[in-house]
Chain A
Amino acid sequence: MVLFSGALARMIDELGKMPGVGPKTAQRLAFYLLRQEAAAVERLAKTLVEAKEKIRYCSICYSLCEEDTCDVCRHPRRDASCICVVEEPNDVFALERAQIYHGHYHVLMGTLSPLDGIGPEDLKIPELLKRLENGMIKEVVIATNPDVEGEATAIYLGKLIKPLGIKATRLASGLPAGGNLEYADDITISQAFGGRREL
């Protein structure tokens, strides 16, 4: 039996670390890359390094951007009185695709999960509370996923936000049970927004 070794083994190993990529897929990707011309592989490598260098988290909402702040935070005509709280940066893109929401965002970078040792201080919750201090925010829409961790996070935030005199709403669960924003279609997202309820 000939086993992978040296550069090939390292390549397969690195590719296999990515989510959704098992050993078989990692091998397929590796052999695909090796068949490509050197220039194409270089272009890919450069793109990856460049993206990693340029892309960072928005210093206000923690969405992804290439400047200090993101397009949404800098946009003059977006509704600055409303913040939509999501779990991950890709949720922002899912909501933007649906084109129903015109306020600002706040990315938590996860959910409460004692099992994984994640408490409020491990999320961007202090940063959210700071944003609520300026007196301009009238509504916080909590768009965490409808699983138990997303729900617990929403309940926790609701209890923090309501005493501040700010309306806290939760997306209607038109979302499929156990379904994530990321995979929901645009119509479902619009319906969930339309039917959001007060916490």
Chain B
Amino acid sequence: MNLIRLNTINFRNIIDLDIQFNNGLNILYGNNAQGKTNILEAMYFTSTAKSFRNTHDENLIHFSADQAKVNALVDTNSMQKEACIKIFKNDSKKIYLNNNVINRHADFIGHFIVSLFCPEDLMIIKGDPSFRRRFLDILFCQTDKWYLDNLIKYQRVLKQRNTVLKRIKNTHEQTWLEPWNDQYLQLACTIMEKRSRSIRILNEMAGRWHKRLNREHLSIAYHNPVYTGEDLFAEELQKAFQKRQQQVLHEEMEKGFTLLGPHRDDLDIYIDAIHTRHFSSQGQKRSAAISLRLAEVEYIHSVMHEYPVLLLDDVFSELDAERKNKLIAVFDRKVQTFITGTDLSQIHPLSQDAAIFKIQEGKAVPHKHD
């Protein structure tokens, strides 16, 4: 996939930007707080219609404007598509794909995929389980519509089921739960199966990348109370899940929420058999996060038969020269890549034929090669 052109109006501090990009490497450099991350955020937004910074949509609009627009011309499977999103002050937005209005957010997901590497990825390793579930869900939702559909339904069923659990706290009147239990079970198992299968694939990919870049052994494993390592067939899984569910039902009614299911999953990440979250060094955690992202890129390629566009935000400043060179060599030329940094001399030697833009006060000035 390629981002051919980005046109952005009143997005953060970028008042009016219209640039065409290189199919290979693109470098965005400039001092801090000039808008480099904002530009990557705009790119990410045309892919997912969400920001990667945990924020309300209306905060994406320039302080003095009441509406923002991002418009991306992309090339996927040799087809050009135009994605356009308008963001409004009341936190609402309008999504267009090839000038057609997209009503459901879910119908927009997956048309154009980016992989973002950023310093906050560290949270995938050291943050609470929700960061790891988010990592998995964004990846699987973009590459599997069935998963996306099931996950949306699961979250809705969960809300309904929890409401019932709260209501029957005193009566334990189970007939109210029944209409929701079938779907809850079905959806939970579908999601768990997909996660288990795909995490095994990601584990192999991440392990390979990690060995190549760090000469350590990285492994990731699905952490779910029903899955205990070996593979379960759909029927066995449903039986096992139902049995566990029955065991916790009483406690669920006491607590008033659903205790079992993929909404409580986690991912165990080990380096040389040591649990990274609690025991690894900061540097090890950082490189583990990078290996997970590299696995994500390879996974996307294996499913979509195309590479995502890579957005590397400030990742180079934290790597030593050897790792930096290894990382850039990984995808050089095959994959369109955007790299941000403050010091051009640190990034530039990485590639001779990169397109370089200096970012200053929300504007991008093409840089002439000397």
Task: Please determine whether chains A and B interact with each other in the same assembly.
Answer: yes
Contact assessment for A114 and B160 in the assembled complex, using a CB-CB cutoff below 8 Å: yes
Contact assessment for A178 and B163 in the assembled complex, using a CB-CB cutoff below 8 Å: no
**Residue B134 at the A interface, CB < 8 A?**
no
A-B contact count (CB 8 A): 40
A159–B174 Cα gap in the complex (Å)?
Answer: 14
Q: Across the interface, name the chain B residue whose C-beta is closest to A152.
A: B179
Near A by CB (< 8 A), chain B positions 125-170 give 149, 152-153, 156-157, 159-160, 163-164, 167
Q: Binary interface profile of A, 172-195, with partner B (CB < 8 Å = 1, else 0)?
A: 000001100000000000000000
Residue numbers in A under 8 Å from B63 (CB-CB): none
Residue numbers in B under 8 Å from A115 (CB-CB): 159-160, 163
Q: Across the interface, name the chain B residue whose C-beta is closest to A119.
A: B176
Contact assessment for A148 and B149 in the assembled complex, using a CB-CB cutoff below 8 Å: no
From A114, A155, A178, give the contact of B167 (CB < 8 A).
Answer: A114
Q: A152-B183, A178-B106, A178-B149 are in contact. Are A114 and B178 (CB under 8 A)?
A: no
**Residue B318 at the A interface, CB < 8 A?**
no
Contact assessment for A178 and B104 in the assembled complex, using a CB-CB cutoff below 8 Å: yes
Q: A152-B160, A177-B149 are in contact. Are A112 and B179 (CB under 8 A)?
A: yes
CB distance from B66 to the nearest CB of A (A): 13
A178–B151 Cα gap in the complex (Å)?
Answer: 13
Q: A148-B153, A148-B156, A178-B104 are in contact. Are A156 and B163 (CB under 8 A)?
A: no
CB distance from B67 to the nearest CB of A (A): 12
- Sort chain B's interface into a size bin: 10 to 19
Residue numbers in A under 8 Å from B164 (CB-CB): 114
Dominant SS among interface residues on chain A: helix
Contact assessment for A155 and B176 in the assembled complex, using a CB-CB cutoff below 8 Å: no
Q: A114-B167, A148-B160 are in contact. Are A156 and B179 (CB under 8 A)?
A: yes
Contact assessment for A148 and B163 in the assembled complex, using a CB-CB cutoff below 8 Å: no
A196–B147 Cα gap in the complex (Å)?
Answer: 24
Q: Binary interface profile of B, 183-226, with partner A (CB < 8 Å = 1, else 0)?
A: 10000000000000000000000000000000000000000000
**Residue B254 at the A interface, CB < 8 A?**
no
Residue numbers in B under 8 Å from A112 (CB-CB): 179
CB distance from A127 to the nearest CB of B (A): 19
Q: Across the interface, name the chain B residue whose C-beta is closest to A114.
A: B163
Contact assessment for A114 and B176 in the assembled complex, using a CB-CB cutoff below 8 Å: yes
A92–B178 Cα gap in the complex (Å)?
Answer: 28
**Residue B91 at the A interface, CB < 8 A?**
no
Contact assessment for A159 and B178 in the assembled complex, using a CB-CB cutoff below 8 Å: yes
From B149, B153, B178, give the contact of A155 (CB < 8 A).
Answer: B178
**Residue A63 at the B interface, CB < 8 A?**
no
Q: A148-B153, A178-B104 are in contact. Are A113 and B182 (CB under 8 A)?
A: no
Residue numbers in B under 8 Å from A155 (CB-CB): 178-179, 182-183
A149–B167 Cα gap in the complex (Å)?
Answer: 17
**Residue A13 at the B interface, CB < 8 A?**
no
Residue numbers in A under 8 Å from B149 (CB-CB): 177-178
A152–B104 Cα gap in the complex (Å)?
Answer: 22
Near B by CB (< 8 A), chain A positions 88-123 give 112-115, 119
A79–B153 Cα gap in the complex (Å)?
Answer: 35
Residue numbers in B under 8 Å from A148 (CB-CB): 153, 156-157, 160, 183
Q: Across the interface, name the chain B residue whose C-beta is closest to A156.
A: B179
29 CB-based A-B contacts, threshold 8 Å: A112-B179, A113-B160, A114-B160, A114-B163, A114-B164, A114-B167, A115-B159, A115-B160, A115-B163, A119-B176, A147-B156, A148-B153, A148-B156, A148-B160, A148-B183, A149-B156, A151-B183, A152-B157, A152-B160, A152-B180, A152-B183, A153-B179, A155-B182, A155-B183, A156-B179, A159-B178, A178-B104, A178-B106, A178-B149
Q: Which residues of B contact A (CB under 8 A)?
A: 104, 106, 149, 152-153, 156-157, 159-160, 163-164, 167, 176, 178-180, 182-183
A147-B156, A152-B157 known; 8 other A-B pairs, CB under 8 Å? A113-B160, A114-B160, A115-B159, A147-B153, A148-B183, A152-B183, A156-B178, A178-B152
